[in-house]
Structure 1
Amino acid sequence: MNMTMTHYMELLATNQPWNLILFMAIPVILAETIAITELAILFTRNLNGSLRAVNKITSILVGLYFTGVFIYLFINAVIPITTAEEWRGLTDILAVGLYLSGIVPLLGMALLDMNLIWKNKSAEQKLKIHATFVGIFLVVSHIAMILGMLEPTFGAGANHMMNM
């Protein structure tokens, strides 16, 4: 059986192990660090401790890092694939699109922690917004991973290839 990969999975499989590290491991490890420290902060309500410092630094770091990833992949993958009409199906588009949509919560956390957005919110309100961003990122990134592992034309019929 010869299965075509989504562009998402192809990206991770190419240039091993570097693409996997750069596009998956670094963002996910940083996001999981945020999620773990976020839970501890939510349970303890210690908004000024060392866990909050780790959480804040990691949030800023991953937000800025993923902004670079987003720009790089948009210029070097999304635009060329779209221009050449080389999308492999709806699943392919959704996998890449959901992966890249991680920019919204990740950059949102960074901007929040750099005090560039929602400056007038209380610490408690910012904690709720931050936790919401963490949740959104975990949902979209995991759905992107699942879709990325599917055959790109899944659900489109046996011989249907989608052109954009």
Structure 2
Amino acid sequence: MTHYMELLAQNQPWNLILFMAIPVILAETVAITELYILFSRQFHGGVRKINRSASIVGGVYFCGVFVYLMATAVIPLTTSGGWRGAADVIAVGFYLSGIVPLLGLALLDLGLIGKGRTEEGKLKLHATFVAIFLVVAHVAMIFGMLDPSLLMQQVAPAVHDMGNMPGMNH
């Protein structure tokens, strides 16, 4: 099991809630409200307030998750050589890279970045951050569910043994 899945499986249900449910619920709230805003072009109102609040809370919350996991998991695993192969590193790395789009959303909605953009320009940047988050979160989940030993096997010997394949005359 990858460290990503082990983290979610331990201390049930709290780790699942703290490290998966809260960030994902906030990000999905942003994504759903984002679609409404994109299609309706209503840049103000209740849906935009929900969108903005979820963006800010999600970005700030994930900053805490990022700092906590760097200190308690990534640095200790790296210094002790405790990683369980490439799938493990990819899962944790992509999960933590979610800080970039989530913090970007928070900074944008706090007015700290994108100041010179029009409402539509801000919306495009906002939607881009949402898309980036969805990609990195799904890569993390896919590699997190993978058996880490699968990416630890050597592929090279099988490639060099092509002469023994039926129908291959060399």
Does the alignment reach a TM-score above 0.5?
yes
Whichever residue aligns with residue 146 of structure 1, its letter is I
RMSD, aligned α-carbons: 0.8
| Equivalent-residue separation in structure 1 for 2:85 and 2:149 (angstroms) | 5
Structure 1, unaligned stretches of length 5 or more? 159-164
Determine whether 1:12 maps to 2:8: yes
- Equivalent position to 2:33, from 28, 33, 37: 37
Matches within 5 A, 1:7-156: 7-156=3-152
Residues 43-74 of structure 1, C-alpha deviations (whole Å, 9 max, x = no match): 00000111001000110000000000000000
Larger radius of gyration: 2
Whichever residue aligns with residue 71 of structure 2, its letter is I
Residues 87-121 of structure 1, C-alpha deviations (whole Å, 9 max, x = no match): 00000000000000000000000000000011111
Structure 2, unaligned stretches of length 5 or more? 155-170
Whichever residue aligns with residue 69 of structure 1, its letter is V
Whichever residue aligns with residue 79 of structure 1, its letter is I
How many residues are matched?
A: 154
Equivalent residue number for residue 162 of structure 2: none
Equivalent residue number for residue 161 of structure 1: none
| Equivalent-residue separation in structure 2 for 1:49 and 1:19 (angstroms) | 34
Higher relative contact order (CA 8 A, sep 6+): 1
| Equivalent-residue separation in structure 2 for 1:81 and 1:154 (angstroms) | 20
Structure number with the higher helix fraction is: 2
The offset of 1:154, in angstroms, is 1.8
Contact 2:85/2:148 (<8 A) preserved: yes
| Equivalent-residue separation in structure 2 for 1:45 and 1:8 (angstroms) | 38
- Percent identity reads 66
| Equivalent-residue separation in structure 2 for 1:140 and 1:61 (angstroms) | 19
The offset of 1:156, in angstroms, is 2.4
The offset of 1:153, in angstroms, is 2.7
Equivalent residue number for residue 165 of structure 2: none
